[in-house]
Structure 1
Amino acid sequence: MLQCFPKKRLFHAVRNLNYVSRNQVPNNTTNFYSTRRELDAAYKPSVVEANNTGVGSVAPNDTSKPKFSLLLPPPNVTGELHLGHALTGSIQDVIVRRKQKQGLDMLWIPGMDHAGIATQVVVEKKLLKERKLSRHDIGRDRFLDEIWAWKESKSKSIKGDLCRLGSRMDWSREYFTMDEQQSKAVKEAFVRLFEADLIYRDQSLVNWSCTLESAISDIEVDSIEINGPTAIEVPGYRKKVVFGEMVDIAYKVQGLEEEIVISTTRPETLLGDVAVAVNPADGRYSHMRNRRTMLWHPIRGEEIPLIFDESVDPEFGTGAVKITPAHDRYDYDIARKHQLPLIEVINSKGMIRENLGSFSELPRYEARLKMMEVLAKQSLLREIKPHSMILPICSRSKDVIEFLLRPQWFIRCREMACRAMESVECGQLQIIPNSFEKEWFRWLENCHDWCISRQLWWGHQIPAYEVKSAGNACWVAARSLEEAQHLARERYGFKDFQVAQDTDVLDTWFSSSLLPFSSLGWPEDSKDFKRFYPLDIMETGHDIMFFWVARMVMLGQQLTGQLPFKKILLHGIICDEYGRKMSKSLGNVIKPEHVINGITLEQLNKEIEALHQQGTLSASEMKKSLSGQKKMFPNGIPECGTDALRFTLCSSNVKNYFINFNIQECLTNKLFFNKIWQATRYTLGCVKRFNPTETQFTKECLSEMDRWILSRLGNTITVFDKSLETYNFHLAAAAWKTFFYSNFCDVYLETTKVHMTPEHASTAANHCRVLQYCLSLGLYHLEVFTPYLVAELRPHLPPVDLRFNPTDWIDSKLESEFDQLLEICQNIRQAKSESNPPIARKHNPVVHLLSKSDQLTELLQRNTANIQQLTLCNRVILHRTEEEFGKVPFTTKSTASHVCTFGVFTNLQPSVKRDTSNSGKKLSKLQTEMDKLLKTVNNEGYKKSASEDVQKKHLERIKQIRSQIEEMQNIVM
């Protein structure tokens, strides 16, 4: 084992290390290696993952350690995991593994969400497609049985996918948002909020899906931008419905030979108009202001008033707007202000309500067409013109949203929102990245009361009971029917009464907002609650910051008196490689299992066809998706493995608003792991040949290259640690990719081949120890990203003495020197490859170097063998004078820096003309860099703002480039 560290050992036979429990390393190193199964010739993800299924689940077990707890945002039980789930799981698993290595007692809580609307819609479609039945046909109880069966099937699949990702969750604490414990917490929370007068019942405008016959939340509304007339499929209509048209309609003024023209995109709601509004400053209507001006409603045959309100935009259309308060939020506020009546036109099923003449019982968009005909016959239809608009669509049913007045349950959010803002302002709650703080404050400052009731069958039935007695009625919140009856008698003094529970269910976000504490046993004062609440971090996508994160904070503070977590880490939305959101209509949806296992285009198509057969996708959606898949994945998706998926997801800056996922990058990372695999096989082969012992030796016995790679290792770990501490996972991943690819495999490992011979046995043994140490410690840290790869490779390597600080080996001066050396080697390789014809080993290439620096000359002299190996040349010759250097008839010649010129001599025939085109390219590149620098330093702002050190560096670089340009000009000439 390597002993060159002063009074320290690189490797230590430590038993029972938590990161490699099956690595029981005996003192006899030779025996240790002989007991290990030989590594396969290449890295095969499927084999590695099958061999190491135990990399996941872990439970807290040491109360003497500081705790760290977090919660997995629960996947919906609507289907399989998508890449967004994989991103969340990968990020959180990195955090968990990192904290474990730091010695913390970890708790990562898994669970799943019942997803009220989403799950009900999926099961309804399945039922209709398979059995031609609706939920109403089979009744509530049987329909709920169907959903529970769906849940059982899908939850097993989701759990399997999460385990396949290597997630270290404590599955003994798994929850489901409708299990007994969660149901108890939901009832308790509702009752407490009701008793605190924070929950109330009111009739108000809500987002309404006529297909679902339910209110839905803002997050379930997709805003579709329409530019001009556009035909769109609407559930329940045989023909597409045209949107994107503005209709001008005339209202006759009573008592005057005048008319007022209003503009609307929804002519069918004319039935519910109760007024027309104009701005009091609009001169076109000033003569009507001081008289009670009435307009004639052409359909209902009654008068409606002209009102004046400053909120009306006189620049929009004719400056006159129709007021339909029962179906528009703006109109609703105007009506309340002016004490106007409310006339509901559209019912919960999207039909025109009764008592509206020939329009009654018509589907709303059929009523629209009829309204246009009626208005045209009355000569009141003035114009139909193209119009840009935003159309609200229910993301679940794809129906067009209506705004309907319905009695609903609401939570008062004003005070809780203020406390949530204060927690961020005073620094108690940290949002990462802090750029989201502005959105946090913007949303909470304008936070509306939260509509928490849904007209569904699947979900937590609202624990509110209507009590009726002798013509009186009131609502009570109770944990059970018995408690509601008790309240009716004791609190309200009722004797003869009827009690009925509200049939509505709670918004899914209500139960999920309790999870930071309900998943730990609240409302009971459990051991878990005492130990692990509040959570240390909440990591999730920024798209649900308000619908979930803000509400967790508000209800956590209200119900527990504490913040539910200390930090909020928000990640971006996964998009395809072109920056498009993933959707079935684009055919660009990628599942984690597609990346892990690989999948053919034919198999992808079959999945889409199965969704259609199941009823999830319509025929038109299936057609679009199949077309999109053919464009995106003409050759299918190659097998990449779990580690490559995790590493690729974490290689993006997850703090960005959007994260583009590229399959090719994932495949590249799989090849990167094969590089590490082959490096390990090479190392094991060398160890077997040279059997490095525990011989004591000093730091000085190592070569410069040995010390350089150890310095690079120390710097890599420093960057890695700092990056993970600030949640910059992409920088941490990039640090190891640079180390293993560019430093370890492409440079250090290649140079060790020079001495892996019997005559250099001592040096070879040193190299073996360094190779082992770099791999062992590197894999120890890389494990947070790639648990399967590390679980397979680390048993073949000695464990690391974690008491040793690798940063002790950092040598900035040595690294700076080797940067020069490696840049020279890179330039030589590039010149060889770009030469015409490319220079190969068979051409017997000999590198000639001319150095203008004594320091560089010494460095080159000490490393001629390394240069020869890294440039794939047969010999390296150093020249001391330009005259001597200039006599060689080089095949290619160039500069490596301002102090080094090189040439490559080969056995190519003299008739082959030396190619100087590459030198010309390099000259052009240098000139471009010079021009940019000169432009920068000559800028007035630069001269005032740039520091003296920066200006000196830029001037020195200009001097260096100028020297290189002069040299290159001589070469080209």
Structure 2
Amino acid sequence: MEKAYSPRKGESKVYRRWLDANVFHAEPADGRKVYCIVIPPPNVTDRLHVGHALNNTLQDILIRWRRMEGCNTLWMPGTDHASISTQTVVEKRILAEQGLRRTDFQREEFVARVQAWKDEYEACILEQLKAMGCSCDWGRTRFTMDEMCARAVRAAFYRLFADGLIYRGKRLVNWDPATRTVLADDEVEYETVSGHFWYLRYPLVEPVKIGGRTVEHVTVATTRPETMLGDTAVAMNPADPRAQHLLGRKVRLPIVGRVIPIVADAHVVLPGADSGDEKAEFSTGFLKVTPAHDPSDWEIGQRQNLPVINVLAPDGSISDRYGWDDAATPEAQSLLGMDRFEARQAVVDWFRNQGLLEDIRPYTHEVGHSYRSHVPIEPYLSDQWFVAVKKQIPALPDGGLIEGTDVPVNSLAGLALKPLLDGELKLIPERYASVYRA
């Protein structure tokens, strides 16, 4: 007998015996108590890492325990397309190896490159899982874009649409101008950036007397001057002493010439160094409102029923082709086609030359960057699909509301929530139940 145990010499033989005996396979009509885990499908972007090893070991422990208890046990394996992420890594490989970009290929040729990557890394991932001893039912291996899964997605989408449970609407998304793709919130990486607050003067259409003094403009502070091209209002806090004189008045937006209202919104930070809000020391009390290019401004725009004007193209350049229809002045026309950062400097220079740049102050803040391209993201207005989770499902009887909530029993949210409240669904650790309910 050898003094030291060598896993390599025995594990593969034992695993092969398990496979040959089909001990990991489960039949639906078995009749025994069922225990099932659907593996969180690993992305085909790369090989598995130590985190996958830990996660899958824990799943295998549970599966083997229940199998030894006599349950009809299924651990269903598979891999996930992670489509945009996979496309990104393929593009990086092609760029590094051949110096070519996606746009240098015909669609079919590029898709074939992505398919080849998927096949290579899927095979590697499945072999890694087997090398770890995972007791999956390999005959049921799925890929989240295989024909069966794709057909199921289409069928579910159609059914939800037919029942009026999904609808389309506008929403600000995290947009990556470099890869021209939408990012999930957890795909945005925040970096500390040393930037500036630029203080821009917007002339009033009609001067106003406040405290015996004639006021001819209001001053807004912004970290993104280029977005002022899409402003559709200036907001101020109704608690601001100047509000009684200025609310309902109008300003003429520089460069564009658009006349926009001054509206009341409690979201606006009141100026003052004594305020508890760290932005108060930078605030003028006037907020430029650009619903198409800022999440907070979008909310203000919805409350105030403001127009939404998108001044950016998908590549992050200034454009009048995606919702900006009053770029008629020579000044506005001169900005078209400029990169967003080039336009930022051009806008600041214009305000300075016109005597409308009141101040520039250093400001360090967190800016979202794409985890793929590492460029600053843009809040970008896009058509998105929404799920009406609290709407009564037409095909089911009206069961009223879940007690103490505004959630119908027979809504998508209700069908997910009621088993938890009734004790049929248990989350471990229990603290995650509150997260699930939210």
Which residue in 2 is equivalent to 1:270? Answer: 228
Residue 387 of structure 2, aligned match among 411, 431, 448:
411
Verify: 1:216 aligned to 2:178, yes or no. Answer: no
Which residue in 2 is equivalent to 1:94? Answer: 61
Residue 297 of structure 1, aligned match among 253, 266, 270:
253
Which residue in 2 is equivalent to 1:365? Answer: 341
Residue 433 of structure 1, aligned match among 407, 429, 432:
429
Contact 1:202 1:408 in 2 (8 A): yes
- How do 1:67-466 and structure 2 match up within 5 A? 67-222=34-189, 224-226=190-192, 229=194, 244-256=195-207, 257-258=214-215, 259-289=217-247, 292-315=248-271, 316=280, 317-354=283-320, 355=327, 356-414=332-390, 415-442=411-438
- How do 1:905-924 and structure 2 match up within 5 A? none
1:157 corresponds to which letter in structure 2?
C
- Give the Cα–Cα distance (whole angstroms) in 1 for the partners of residues 117 and 258 of structure 2: 53
Q: Aligned-pair distance for 1:64?
A: 4.3
Q: Aligned-pair distance for 1:374?
A: 1.5
- Give the Cα–Cα distance (whole angstroms) in 1 for the partners of residues 415 and 373 of structure 2: 36
Which residue in 1 is equivalent to 2:404? Answer: none
2:348 corresponds to which letter in structure 1?
M
Q: SS of the residue aligned with 1:172? A: helix
Q: Aligned-pair distance for 1:81?
A: 0.5
Contact 1:128 1:134 in 2 (8 A): yes
Deviation string 1:242-288 (CA, Å, 9 cap, x unpaired) is xx432222222233242322111111101111111001121033322
- Give the Cα–Cα distance (whole angstroms) in 1 for the partners of residues 176 and 284 of structure 2: 31
Q: Aligned-pair distance for 1:396?
A: 2.6
Deviation string 1:436-461 (CA, Å, 9 cap, x unpaired) is 2222223xxxxxxxxxxxxxxxxxxx
- 5+ residue gaps, structure 1, are 1-37, 230-243, 443-973
- How do 1:649-688 and structure 2 match up within 5 A? none
Q: Aligned-pair distance for 1:110?
A: 0.3
Deviation string 1:118-157 (CA, Å, 9 cap, x unpaired) is 1111112222222333222212222111111111111111
Q: SS of the residue aligned with 1:344? A: coil
Contact 1:248 1:382 in 2 (8 A): yes
Contact 1:56 1:167 in 2 (8 A): no
Which of the two has greater helix per residue?
1
Q: Aligned-pair distance for 1:51?
A: 5.3
Q: 1:418 to 1:250 in 2, by over 3 A?
A: farther
Q: SS of the residue aligned with 1:434? A: coil
- Give the Cα–Cα distance (whole angstroms) in 2 for the partners of residues 78 and 129 of structure 1: 16
Q: SS of the residue aligned with 2:174? A: strand
Contact 2:191 2:369 in 1 (8 A): no
- How do 1:754-769 and structure 2 match up within 5 A? none
Give me the TM-score of the superposition, normalised by structure 2. Answer: 0.82
Deviation string 1:754-800 (CA, Å, 9 cap, x unpaired) is xxxxxxxxxxxxxxxxxxxxxxxxxxxxxxxxxxxxxxxxxxxxxxx
Q: SS of the residue aligned with 1:432? A: coil
Q: Aligned-pair distance for 1:388?
A: 4.1
- The structure with higher relative contact order (CA 8 Å, sep 6+) is 2
- Give the Cα–Cα distance (whole angstroms) in 1 for the partners of residues 82 and 244 of structure 2: 54
Q: Aligned-pair distance for 1:172?
A: 0.5
1:42 corresponds to which letter in structure 2?
A
Q: Aligned-pair distance for 1:225?
A: 4.8
Which residue in 2 is equivalent to 1:778? Answer: none
Contact 1:209 1:216 in 2 (8 A): yes
Q: 1:324 to 1:55 in 2, by over 3 A?
A: farther
Q: SS of the residue aligned with 1:255? A: strand
Which residue in 1 is equivalent to 2:5? Answer: 43
Which residue in 1 is equivalent to 2:397? Answer: none
Contact 2:12 2:131 in 1 (8 A): no
Q: Aligned-pair distance for 1:435?
A: 1.3
Which of the two has greater strand per residue?
2
- Give the Cα–Cα distance (whole angstroms) in 1 for the partners of residues 418 and 107 of structure 2: 44
Contact 2:175 2:183 in 1 (8 A): yes
Q: Aligned-pair distance for 1:403?
A: 1.7
Q: 1:138 to 1:417 in 2, by over 3 A?
A: same
Q: Aligned-pair distance for 1:426?
A: 2.0
Q: 1:59 to 1:219 in 2, by over 3 A?
A: same
1:269 corresponds to which letter in structure 2?
T
Q: 1:214 to 1:358 in 2, by over 3 A?
A: same
- Give the Cα–Cα distance (whole angstroms) in 1 for the partners of residues 231 and 34 of structure 2: 61
Which residue in 2 is equivalent to 1:713? Answer: none
Q: 1:190 to 1:302 in 2, by over 3 A?
A: closer
Q: 1:187 to 1:314 in 2, by over 3 A?
A: same
- Give the Cα–Cα distance (whole angstroms) in 2 for the partners of residues 55 and 218 of structure 1: 45
Contact 2:198 2:223 in 1 (8 A): yes
The sequence identity of aligned pairs, in percent, is 37
1:110 corresponds to which letter in structure 2?
P
Contact 1:108 1:169 in 2 (8 A): yes
- How do 1:576-587 and structure 2 match up within 5 A? none
Q: 1:395 to 1:425 in 2, by over 3 A?
A: farther
Q: SS of the residue aligned with 1:352? A: coil
Q: 1:367 to 1:75 in 2, by over 3 A?
A: same
- Give the Cα–Cα distance (whole angstroms) in 2 for the partners of residues 65 and 342 of structure 1: 59
- 5+ residue gaps, structure 2, are 208-213, 272-279, 321-326, 391-410
Q: Aligned-pair distance for 1:111?
A: 0.2
Q: 1:374 to 1:251 in 2, by over 3 A?
A: same
Deviation string 1:340-392 (CA, Å, 9 cap, x unpaired) is 22221111111110343211111111111222222222222223323343322
- Give the Cα–Cα distance (whole angstroms) in 2 for the partners of residues 56 and 347 of structure 1: 57
Q: SS of the residue aligned with 1:160? A: helix
Contact 1:56 1:163 in 2 (8 A): no
2:303 corresponds to which letter in structure 1?
K
2:58 corresponds to which letter in structure 1?
I
Q: 1:423 to 1:190 in 2, by over 3 A?
A: same
Contact 1:117 1:396 in 2 (8 A): no
Contact 1:273 1:324 in 2 (8 A): yes
Q: SS of the residue aligned with 1:106? A: strand
- Give the Cα–Cα distance (whole angstroms) in 1 for the partners of residues 106 and 385 of structure 2: 25
Which residue in 2 is equivalent to 1:829? Answer: none
Q: 1:255 to 1:56 in 2, by over 3 A?
A: farther
